[in-house]
Amino acid sequence: MITQTVNVLGLKLPKIDPRWWLIINHITLVSLGLIAYDMRRSAVQVGFAFACGILSEILFSAVTRKQVFFSIRDRLMSATILCSATIILVRAEDWWFYGLMAVIGVASKYLLVNDKGRHLFNPTNFAVVFAVMVMPLYLQFRPDTFSASWVPMAVILCFAGMATITAKSWRAPLAYMGTIFLVGLPLGMMLGYHPVRVIGPEISVTTLLFCLAAMTDPQTSPRAPKQQLLYGSLIALVALFLRYNEVYYHQFVALFVVTCLNSVLFSSPGLPPQQQQQIGTKG
């Protein structure tokens, strides 16, 4: 039963686990893409991705015994978010590709951990960066038709936006966008870029999804308000540098770079243990 509320633009909305908002967001996007936007993913790709994601969640958790207090439902939710996000963000032809991405994302969560035992990378972000950096020839880098459409963007702003507000991690995307406008725009113009070229891709489906679903992962981002602002700005600066050097999926690579340095840069990235446990016992 939902007892807490969250204040959004003066409206008191029921507070639910932010992951539900992400699941609603991702499933809506996948459905919209497949039905209305010619998103080229086959049933085999989607099915195999979810099967691999769920199985590897169960296997890795059993083997590594990480977060043992998490319920099966938590693991299913986590796998669903990871699989659906990679399906939306990455284009590939091979039937096995998304399955492999799911396994890699889950593996990163259980195997790449910091001194406190917390995972270092947002699993979706890690899977995307792995695909771009290690196996780029299996990717089809051509944005899906819906990448530049307003309806999916509205969906993301609504549902993923709710996830961000509920998780209280909205400062990071705000800082990211702010830095893009305040630093990226003049910098781009100094480099001879037209303003539309600087700003346009930064409000795409991919970037919005990155800002509101990957960058704001409460497990891998700092929680203190000032650190969130610094974190978002830093990612934006690295992303701008990478973009002007033509690195594909520049935002995701930037997030990867910054999270590599998370433990050094920020005092305590990730949720405090009691809050992690709280998530676990909810299930």
Partner 1 sequence: MPIKGSKYTGIAVGGALLVFLAVNNRLSEHGYDVYPAKAPDSISELSPVHFTESAQQLGLVAPNRFYYPNTSPKAKQYEPLLSLSPSVSVADVNGDGFMDVYVTAPAPDIPNKLFINHGGKSFEEVAAKVGLDDTDRTYKEPSMAYWGDFNHDGKLDVFMARYGCHTLHTQQADGTFKAALVGYCSQPWSINVFDFNRDGNLDVFFGNYYHAEDLSKYVALEHIFTRAGLPKTGSANAILLGKGDGTFGLLDDGVLKDYPDHTAAVGFSDVNMDGYPDIAVSNDYNPDRMYLNQGGKTLKEVTEQSIPSDKHGFNDMNAEFVDFDMDGLIDLFVTGGFGPPISVSDNLLWKRKSNDSTEYEEVARKWNAHGCGSAWTAKFSDFDNNGDLDFFIINGQGYGANVKDPKDAKSYNYVRNEIRSTPGSLRYTLDSMPDFSNYEMWAFQHSCVMWQKDGQFYDVAQKAGVADYTEDGRSLALVDLNNDGKQDVLVVNMNAPMYVFINDSKTDGNWVGISAIWEDGTVATGARLMAKRTDGKPLVREVFPGNGHHSQNDPRIHFGLGKAKLADDEIAVLWPDGTMERFTHQPMNTYVTLVHGKGVK
Binding site for partner 1 (CB under 8 A): 40, 42, 64-66, 68, 93-94, 110-115, 117, 120-121, 129, 132-134, 136-143, 145, 147-150, 153, 192-197, 199-201, 203-207, 246, 248, 256-257, 259-264
Q: Shortest Cβ distance from residue 115 to partner 1 (Å)? A: 5
H-helix or E-strand containing 11? strand 11-14
A 10 A CB-CB count for 244 gives: 15
Rounded distance between C-alpha atoms, residue 178 and residue 132, angstroms: 26
Rounded distance between C-alpha atoms, residue 158 and residue 26, angstroms: 12
- CB contact at 8 A, 202 and 180: yes
Q: Shortest Cβ distance from residue 14 to partner 1 (Å)? A: 31
Q: Toward partner 1, which CB reaches closer, 1 or 246?
A: 246
Q: Shortest Cβ distance from residue 50 to partner 1 (Å)? A: 19
Q: Toward partner 1, which CB reaches closer, 1 or 190?
A: 190
Q: Shortest Cβ distance from residue 16 to partner 1 (Å)? A: 29
DSSP state of 21: H
Q: Shortest Cβ distance from residue 74 to partner 1 (Å)? A: 16
Q: Toward partner 1, which CB reaches closer, 23 or 103?
A: 103
Q: Toward partner 1, which CB reaches closer, 13 or 133?
A: 133
Q: With 0-12 CB in 10 A as exposed, 13-18 as middle and 19+ as buried, what is 281?
A: exposed
Q: Toward partner 1, which CB reaches closer, 3 or 274?
A: 274
Q: Toward partner 1, which CB reaches closer, 23 or 211?
A: 211
Q: Shortest Cβ distance from residue 188 to partner 1 (Å)? A: 11
**Which amino acid, one-letter code, is at 197?**
R
Q: Toward partner 1, which CB reaches closer, 8 or 62?
A: 62
- Reported for 178-187, long-range contacts at CB under 8 A and 24+ positions apart, including other chains, are 178/232, 178/233, 178/236, 179/232, 179/233, 179/236, 179/237, 179/240, 180/236, 180/239, 180/240, 183/236, 183/237, 183/240, 184/236, 184/240, 187/240
**Which amino acid, one-letter code, is at 116?**
K
H-helix or E-strand containing 264? helix 262-265
Q: Which of 233, 119, 216 is nearest to 160 (CA)?
A: 216
| Residue 165 Cα distances to 44, 59, 159, angstroms | 34, 32, 10
Q: Shortest Cβ distance from residue 38 to partner 1 (Å)? A: 8
